[in-house]
């Protein structure tokens, strides 16, 4: 029953899908499978290291080792602490800024949108470099300024590093999320706002009781996307790490992976840990997709 047109469509479909799927197989599926395979082996050094190495099947041993390693688990604790600071500050800040921008009072909307969004145009690594300079005693005008006010803060100490890393991320993402929330606020029906006004609700009351609940789905999605991004945290901690000896080389899970692979040459462990991180992030992404689907079907 295939008509010539259906056949033509199928042929074109194959042609147009081929580049993406061939590359997708090479860049996503093959590495996943190969890393999965590698994660089942460990390298044994025979003798005193002179006899060469051999790959030994280890089953799930690498996964057990990763999960049992305090350094790996500590990485997730770092992420948890980081998220606990970062999410409320960044999401809350972006929300307040979006509401301010949305309030009829604001002039120069375009300027503020651009000024607040601008850091997002700065690559994460450069953002981290800028801020770590601003955290470095002797270089930083911020430290000088605080010191003049009698405040001595070591931004790079072990206790403060989580805050310092979170601040870099807030700087990069607050404007981005503000633009998203602002766009969502525009979709709030005018009637609802007018009704609130007629009922005598003030600006703050309208914001808290009408606007925020109506854009809650956008906020929840932003939170989940931010958590997924945080699980993969690497660039900022890596830059802080090179400036400060106070945090370890396995401060975040991805740093643990890099250390396992290139400092200890333990590729089986690195592969297993990578896959655990990927799995964890993929589970979170799955939640996001489920969440946004169930939302779009009213």
Q: Which stretch binds other proteins (CB under 8 A): 46-54, 74-82, 157-165, 272-280?
A: 272-280
State the Cα–Cα distance between residues 102 and 225, nearest whole angstrom: 23
Question: Nearer Cβ to other proteins, position 48 or 233?
Answer: 233
> Closest separation between CB of residue 81 and other proteins, Å?
19
Interface of this chain with other proteins, residues 53 to 82, rule: CB under 8 A: none
Give Cα separations from 235 to 58, 78, 212, 252 (angstroms): 32, 14, 32, 10
Looking at the DSSP bridge assignments, the partners of residue 42 are: 56
Query: Quick one: which of 58, 161, 243, 247 contacts other proteins (CB under 8 A)?
Result: 243
State the Cα–Cα distance between residues 19 and 147, nearest whole angstrom: 58
> Is residue 17 near other proteins by the rule CB under 8 A?
yes
Interface of this chain with other proteins, residues 133 to 172, rule: CB under 8 A: 133-134, 138-142, 144, 171
> Closest separation between CB of residue 139 and other proteins, Å?
7
> Is residue 118 near other proteins by the rule CB under 8 A?
yes
State the Cα–Cα distance between residues 272 and 36, nearest whole angstrom: 7
The residue ranges of DSSP E strands in the chain, in sequence order, are: 41-45, 53-57
> Is residue 183 near other proteins by the rule CB under 8 A?
yes
Query: Quick one: which of 84, 262, 264, 265 contacts other proteins (CB under 8 A)?
Result: 262
Query: Quick one: which of 242, 263, 264, 265 contacts other proteins (CB under 8 A)?
Result: 242
Give Cα separations from 75 to 29, 33, 231 (angstroms): 26, 25, 9
């Amino acid at each position: 029953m295939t008509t010539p047109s259906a056949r033509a469509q199928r042929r074109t479909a194959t042609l147009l899908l081929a580049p993406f799927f061939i590359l997708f197989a090479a860049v996503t599926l093959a590495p996943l499978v190969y890393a999965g395979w590698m994660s089942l082996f460990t390298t044994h050094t025979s003798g005193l290291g002179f006899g060469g190495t051999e790959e030994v099947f280890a089953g799930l041993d690498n996964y057990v080792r990763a999960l049992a390693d305090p350094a790996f688990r500590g990485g997730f604790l770092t992420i948890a602490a980081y998220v606990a600071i970062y999410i409320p500050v960044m999401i809350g800040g972006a929300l307040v800024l979006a509401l301010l921008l949305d309030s009829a009072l604001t002039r120069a909307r375009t300027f503020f949108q651009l000024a607040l969004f601008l850091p997002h145009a700065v690559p994460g690594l450069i953002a981290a470099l800028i801020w770590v300079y601003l955290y470095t005693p002797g270089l930083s005008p911020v430290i000088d300024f605080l010191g003049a006010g009698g405040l001595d803060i070591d931004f790079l100490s072990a206790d403060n590093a989580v805050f310092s890393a979170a601040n870099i991320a807030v700087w990069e993402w607050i404007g981005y999320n503000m633009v998203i929330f602002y766009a969502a606020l525009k979709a709030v029906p005018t009637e609802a706002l007018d009704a609130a006004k007629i009922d005598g609700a003030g600006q703050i009351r309208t914001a808290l009781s009408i606007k925020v609940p109506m854009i809650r789905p956008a906020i929840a999605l932003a939170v989940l996307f931010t958590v997924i991004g945080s699980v993969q945290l690497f660039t900022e901690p890596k830059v802080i790490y090179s400036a400060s000896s106070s945090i370890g080389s396995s401060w975040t899970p991805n740093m643990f992976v890099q250390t396992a692979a290139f400092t200890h040459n333990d590729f089986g462990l690195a592969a297993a840990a990578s896959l655990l991180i990927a799995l964890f992030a993929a589970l979170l992404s799955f939640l996001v997709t489920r969440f946004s689907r169930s939302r779009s079907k009213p």
